[in-house]
Structure 1
Amino acid sequence: MVMPSQEVRVDGCLLRYADSGGEGTPIVFTHGAGADHHMFDAQYDRLAMSGHRVVVWDMRGHGASRPNGESFTGERAHQDLLALIEHLRLFKPVLAGHSLGGNLSQAAVRRSPGSYRALIVMGSTWNTGPLTATERFLLKLAAPSLALVPESRLPLLMARASAVTSAAREDAVRAFAQMSKPRFIEVWKATVGFVTPEPSYRTPLPLCLIRGSADETGNIATAMPRWAAAEGISEHVIPGAGHLVSQDAPEAVTAVIERFVSTLPRV
């Protein structure tokens, strides 16, 4: 299990991270809402062994990144990501994100494409993609629906909705139990805030899209194929995996990432 033994203080929060070091391609992994860096344990170990410089971190209020003195917002998360990259002096890292982490990574690339060399998105919706009236309605309904769930039931409910394998579900319960329901709803609202449709936008960097075939969260199963078609690439659908694709099928996801990163030009 990867331990975030390193830290950097950023605006009221001690952000904790793990950095494999080395001279290889830097890849920064950002986890999903309510999760933490452990969702990338398998990817960290394998990619570091392959010579890449791998960084995983806990967003503020998640995992070991506490205390958190500020509300969680999309802008705050973006500034934290930039602060971590600057602290580590990473030159044009690959951004790899799951769910909220994928939304954040998309937003970072959209804002400053010249700062990164590629984008990997796992189990995340398309930030700039068009939304149907039904999708807009469901986005607005999500936070009020979560508010109705008893706090004691939320970790197990989210784990069952997110993962297929028992190991991934068990770890999801552990991660979600670390966060209060009000804070999780705050984080969820920040996630939704990244969805800002601009159908003509295209990712100006090499792009890799990964999702589980059994992912039924949000509109990912319909949005990611549309996104891949718009970008003129093929998405990677991992058989039998759910939303927590990096944990439900760690070897398959790592193999996709390794192949993708191997095709990137040197910078």
Structure 2
Amino acid sequence: MLNRSFGLDGCEIRYADSGGDGIPVVFSHGAGADHVMFDAQRDHLSALGHRVVTWDLRGHGLSRPAGAPVTADRLIADLSALIGRLRLDRPVLVGQSLGGNLSQALVRRQPGLCRALVIIGSTWNTAPLSAGDRFLLRLAAPSLSVIPAGRLPEVMAGASAVTPAAKADARRAFSQLTKGEFVKVWRATVGFLDPDPGYRTPVPLCLIRGERDRTGNIAKAMPRWAAAEGVEEVVVPGAGHIANQDAPEAVNAAIETFLRTKGVV
């Protein structure tokens, strides 16, 4: 449960902090989701001695109403403010989908703020965009707008998850937002894309995606991203877009192995 909050730009940002002296890890969830998606990762990393922070992004879950409009820049400011408020010493950032775009953007903007980056089911912010990619991005919001509001949670859950438990939680989370709110969040997600083919992540990077993730261009972009950065992507067998909920033990193991390999323990 998110039992703490702070006000910023018209929104009461809700978060939870396990406390302690361990290396901090901050989890940022995907569009339409909330902090619950990281319950398994929170418990696992807390047991390893990490200080774990989860939060609901502006306009999601308990951090509603959004107050000021949800934009890429505002979400970056929110995450930076959360880290500053808690006086976290160079936390590890873990982000899924939108949370991964957000975490990438914060590392790029403030490279000394964090010590490592873990991305789950998110596209590559700085990748070159083809004409086809740009066309599909322009179509995405109008396509979402034609889905009946009552059907949107079911449609998005089906597109995001594979297992019954993960689908059920996705339906629960998506049901908290109106269709209009979700479309605005999607537009904010697109705002993180900023092609810069020469950019390389300045901190240790872990890339994780579900084998059955068919969301956007992730299945195509993440292997190219891994090759460009000189890292190996972790492909989770049988998992979908929210691999951390479809296959929590496999994702927990991947994150733990990465942190131990990089000396982030």
- Tell me the residue number matched to 2:221: 223
> 102, 105, 120: which one pairs with 2:103?
105
1:127 maps to 2:132: no
1:237 maps to 2:235: yes
1:210 maps to 2:200: no
CA-to-aligned-CA distance 1:107-130 (integer Å, 9 cap, x gap): 000111111101111000000011
- Tell me the residue number matched to 2:38: 40
Provide the rounded CA distance (Å) in 1 between the counterparts of 2:14 and 2:136: 34
Provide the rounded CA distance (Å) in 1 between the counterparts of 2:84 and 2:261: 25
Aligned residues between the structures:
265
1:20 maps to 2:18: yes
- Out of 153-162 and 13-22, give the one that drifted further: 13-22
Deviation at 1:68, TM superposition (A): 2.3
Deviation at 1:103, TM superposition (A): 0.3
Q: Which amino acid aligns with 1:46?
A: H
1:112-151 alignment, distance < 5 Å: 112-151=110-149
The alignment yields a C-alpha RMSD, in angstroms, of 1.1
Deviation at 1:94, TM superposition (A): 0.7
Provide the rounded CA distance (Å) in 2 between the counterparts of 1:240 and 1:190: 29
Deviation at 1:265, TM superposition (A): 4.1
Query: Identity percentage over the alignment?
Result: 65
> 83, 91, 112: which one pairs with 1:85?
83
Deviation at 1:264, TM superposition (A): 3.0
Provide the rounded CA distance (Å) in 2 between the counterparts of 1:89 and 1:135: 39
TM-score, with length taken from structure 1: 0.97
- Tell me the residue number matched to 2:157: 159
- Tell me the residue number matched to 1:177: 175
Provide the rounded CA distance (Å) in 2 between the counterparts of 1:89 and 1:83: 10
Provide the rounded CA distance (Å) in 2 between the counterparts of 1:55 and 1:262: 19
Provide the rounded CA distance (Å) in 1 between the counterparts of 2:98 and 2:156: 14
TM-score, with length taken from structure 2: 0.98
